[in-house]
Amino acid sequence: MRRRLLILRNLPRVTWSHRPALDGVRALAVYLVLLFHVGLATFDGGFVGVDLFFVLSGFLVTSVLLSEIDATGSLRLGRFYARRVRRLLPAAVVVVVATGVAFVLFTSIVRRFPLVADARSALLYYANWHFLGQSNDYFAADLQPSPYLHFWSLAIEEQYYVVFPLVLLGLVALSRRRAWALPVGLAVLALVSVASQLYWRSADPNHAYYGTDARLYQLLVGSLLAQVFRAGWSRTRPAWSGLVGLAMMVVVSSALLDVSPTWRGLLATLAAVLLIVGMMGEGPATRLFALPGLVYLGKISYGTYLWHWPVILILREVLDVSPWLLAVLAGVLSTALAALSAEILELPIRRRPGAPRWQWPVAAIGVTVSAITAFVVMPPILHSDRQPALVAGGTGYAGSDRTPVPDLDWDAVAHDFGGAHKCSQPEDCYVVDNGGPTVVLVGDSHGKMVLPMFEELAREKGFTLAVNVADGCPWQAGLSNENRPPDLRQKCIDLRGDWYDDVLPRLHPDLVVLVEQSYDGEAEKYEGTLTRIGGSDETLSELLARTTRETLDTFHDHGIRSLVVKNTIPAEADPLDCLAGATYVSECLVPVPIGVDDSDAAYQAEDVARDDMWSVDLNPVLCPDAPLCRPVLGDTVVWRDHDHLTTKILLRLREQIWQQIVDSGALDGSGLAGTR
């Protein structure tokens, strides 16, 4: 079906022609991103290459659309969507599938489970929202980087391509009566997106980076620039613009500038505008970017962008090299793959003539192929139980024990999270209520981890269990987790603080059990992420020690006894990932860390100083063979990931763990003394 939308014919006309220098600018953008992704400190702002892509894409697409409208008085939507599908989908589908196959060869099934959802979001172009959800998911930086992560930017562009032609048609139609409607409409939409970016930069930086609403301004600025050229302003373009834009982009992408991603993005947008303006005229910058080599690299930049990130991750699996050497290897390989893809796949498809009546079917077929790949092709590839060519995580502590890795349900173990339970009123806190003395469990994801064990113990020992645990919420009052979006951050605050003063005393607990993940040795990661409500200049260690003391003081003031669970042993690498690629359990032994954690030392000091607070160490039960710990006891996996235990091992060892609690003295003199 051919669909033509008639537009006013007496609008200003512009002749759009290919500018080779703009292809050269694409090359600059993609290699800035690559330098950032290999970890070069010199280019720690290289992610602004994506910002340059956005502005350039908005400019080029709008120029083409406006040129068609001016030349024909119409816009063939089917033709536009079919061209986008033919341009973007074939290479993307091939990269997604090839990446999945490569990761089957180089990584364990444990690491591949999450990639099914990642690949699906990449193929269906909602990857930015998918990864935004993950980034808000309990310090998701702990997760292995996804080889499909870079599709977030392509998702934003595709969302723009779907909606923008319709918006443009509406604005052009309004221009029939008011000539200013098109530029003003684009400017207003861009300003609304800038406002969204400025709001989210403090409310949720992850949303500011991934959210379509917060990033559209860059595409819309490009669109507005295209309209400015259409109106004839191009005759007054300054000759210095290109050099200034290039210099500014280099500075913005480098470590020379110490600003937030939001301000870096705004500056990069301005630099991109100056660069594009310069490329539309003549000058040294234009001649530089019009060099044949740069133009060619720019023409295949889409393929280079698609390939570069999975190539980097695979190279890191097999090589331990400097960032500079990694940059060279990744640049050569991803460019070569992009060139091959362009010659044998992309260009033949794009050059193939198509009858106008087939435009809408082509678009529909492309989307269907992408969906079939997402739901039918990728799951069996990524869920293959083939062992990787390289063992994923041998610890180097393997002994002579040849106990084979048991036959495990890897998916079930990897998703053995435990259960969350939050409450704002006393009656909503109970999970086991049998009329016995009351234990209240408070914690974060480690609280979820031990919850099934405490539920079973409550039934067996006859105590009542109330629970208030949630991901990413330390038990200390006064802490704010800045890595959470604003609504979840406030929920964490509400689960502590006032809850301790209002709800907890009304539960009349005989004992409060406090559990959380360890923040020791992670100062670089958590400094600035965990903060004191209202702000302070405390170091992370000072902050945790003081908020621990203050929270225990609150319990003391209410006459509430407390038991702090010390940090469980973390693994240097993911033991489950190691087991999935190993033959023998002994290949994945976990060494006990040397020394005492700062937080454990603080808990121990409070234990000595107080007569209503105790601490308990579960590690002697979990690691009976210290200083080397077995990742599997019997046929039960100990660690779900490098930091979390499985609920199954805790359930299996609950009687020994209960004995550790009894031996701590926390039950002496309480209503729980009879539950031994």
- Residue 391, pLDDT > 60, answer no
Q: In which band, very low, low, confident or very high, does the pLDDT at 490 lie, cut at 50, 70 and 90? A: confident
Query: How far is residue 122's CA from residue 375's CA, in Å, rounded to a whole number?
Result: 12
- Residue 571, pLDDT > 80, answer yes
The pLDDT of residue 23 = 95
- Residue 8, pLDDT > 70, answer no
| % pLDDT > 90, the chain | 64
Strand partners, 467: 441
Mean pLDDT value of segment 280-296 = 91
- Residue 18, pLDDT > 80, answer no
Tokens of 398: 């393997």
The pLDDT of residue 498 = 86
Q: In which band, very low, low, confident or very high, does the pLDDT at 393 lie, cut at 50, 70 and 90? A: very low
The pLDDT of residue 460 = 95
Q: 486 or 185: which carries more pLDDT confidence?
A: 185
Question: What are the distances in angstroms from CA 674 to CA 295, 461, 472, 659, 670?
Answer: 80, 9, 34, 13, 9
The pLDDT of residue 203 = 83
* Cβ 568 vs Cβ 618: under 8 Å: yes
pLDDT digits (tens, 9 = 90+) for 203-221: 888 899 999 999 999 999 9
Query: How far is residue 596's CA from residue 601's CA, in Å, rounded to a whole number?
Result: 7
pLDDT digits (tens, 9 = 90+) for 33-49: 999 999 999 999 999 99
Q: Kindly state the DSSP code that residue 285 receives in the 8-state scheme.
A: H
Residue tagged 């690691």 (tokens): 623
The pLDDT of residue 233 = 62
- Residue 482, pLDDT > 80, answer no
The pLDDT of residue 301 = 97
Q: What is the CA radius of gyration of the chain?
A: 29
Query: How far is residue 621's CA from residue 563's CA, in Å, rounded to a whole number?
Result: 17
pLDDT digits (tens, 9 = 90+) for 103-135: 999 998 999 998 999 999 999 999 999 999 887
The pLDDT of residue 536 = 84
Q: In which band, very low, low, confident or very high, does the pLDDT at 673 lie, cut at 50, 70 and 90? A: confident
Sorted by sequence, the CB contacts under 8 Å of residue 254 that are 6+ apart come out as: 42, 43, 44, 45
* 3-state SS record for 160-189: HHHHHHHHHHHHHHHCCCCCCHHHHHHHHH
- Residue 10, pLDDT > 60, answer no
Q: Phi/psi of residue 439, each to 5°?
A: -110, 135
* Cβ 351 vs Cβ 542: under 8 Å: no
Sorted by sequence, the CB contacts under 8 Å of residue 525 that are 6+ apart come out as: 139, 141
Query: How far is residue 622's CA from residue 653's CA, in Å, rounded to a whole number?
Result: 8
- Residue 7, pLDDT > 90, answer no
Strand partners, 81: none
pLDDT digits (tens, 9 = 90+) for 629-658: 999 999 999 999 988 999 999 999 999 999
Q: Worst-scoring range by mean pLDDT, 281-285, 289-293, 413-417, 576-580?
A: 281-285
Strand partners, 639: 645
The pLDDT of residue 447 = 95
Q: In which band, very low, low, confident or very high, does the pLDDT at 12 lie, cut at 50, 70 and 90? A: very low
Q: 403 or 451: which carries more pLDDT confidence?
A: 451
Question: What are the distances in angstroms from CA 246 to CA 170, 252, 265?
Answer: 35, 10, 15
| % pLDDT > 70, the chain | 91
The pLDDT of residue 675 = 74
Helices 127-135, 212-230: crossing angle, 10 deg rounding: 140
The pLDDT of residue 604 = 92
Residues of the chain with CATH 3.40.50: 419-569+598-625+656-670
Can you tell me whether residue 439 is helix, strand or coil?
A: strand
Mean pLDDT value of segment 488-509 = 88
The pLDDT of residue 459 = 95
* 3-state SS record for 493-550: HHHCCHHHHHHHHHCCCCEEEEECCCCCCCHHHHECCEEECCCCCCCHHHHHHHHHHH
- Residue 13, pLDDT > 60, answer no
Does residue 403 come out as left (phi exceeding 0), alpha (psi in the -120 to 50 range) or beta? Answer: beta
The pLDDT of residue 598 = 86
Residue tagged 């030349």 (tokens): 71
- Which one, of 122, 111, 177, lies nearest residue 144 by Cα? 111
Tokens of 40: 């070069």
Q: Worst-scoring range by mean pLDDT, 70-74, 161-165, 453-457?
A: 70-74
Mean pLDDT value of segment 78-100 = 94
**Dihedral sign, Cα of residue 304, residue 310, residue 314, residue 320:** positive
Mean pLDDT value of segment 423-428 = 93
- Residue 138, pLDDT > 80, answer no
CATH for 419-569+598-625+656-670?
3.40.50
The pLDDT of residue 507 = 95
The pLDDT of residue 3 = 40
The pLDDT of residue 669 = 85
Q: How many residues does the chain have?
A: 676
The pLDDT of residue 398 = 53
- Residue 594, pLDDT > 60, answer yes
Sorted by sequence, the CB contacts under 8 Å of residue 322 that are 6+ apart come out as: none
Write down the pTM of the prediction. 0.86
Residue 273 CB: number of other CB atoms within 10 A?
21
Element (DSSP H or E) covering residue 99:
helix 77-106
pLDDT digits (tens, 9 = 90+) for 163-187: 999 999 999 888 877 778 899 999 9
- Residue 139, pLDDT > 70, answer no
* Cβ 68 vs Cβ 349: under 8 Å: no
The pLDDT of residue 538 = 86
The pLDDT of residue 283 = 84
- Residue 94, pLDDT > 90, answer yes
- Which one, of 623, 661, 640, 671, lies nearest residue 514 by Cα? 661
Q: Phi/psi of residue 325, each to 5°?
A: -65, -40
Tokens of 420: 């969350």
- Bond preceding residue 620 cis, omega within 30 of 0: no
Q: Report the Cα 341 to chain-centroid distance in Å.
A: 28
Expressed in angstroms, the distance from the first to the final Cα of the chain is 77
The pLDDT of residue 97 = 98
* Cβ 77 vs Cβ 3: under 8 Å: yes
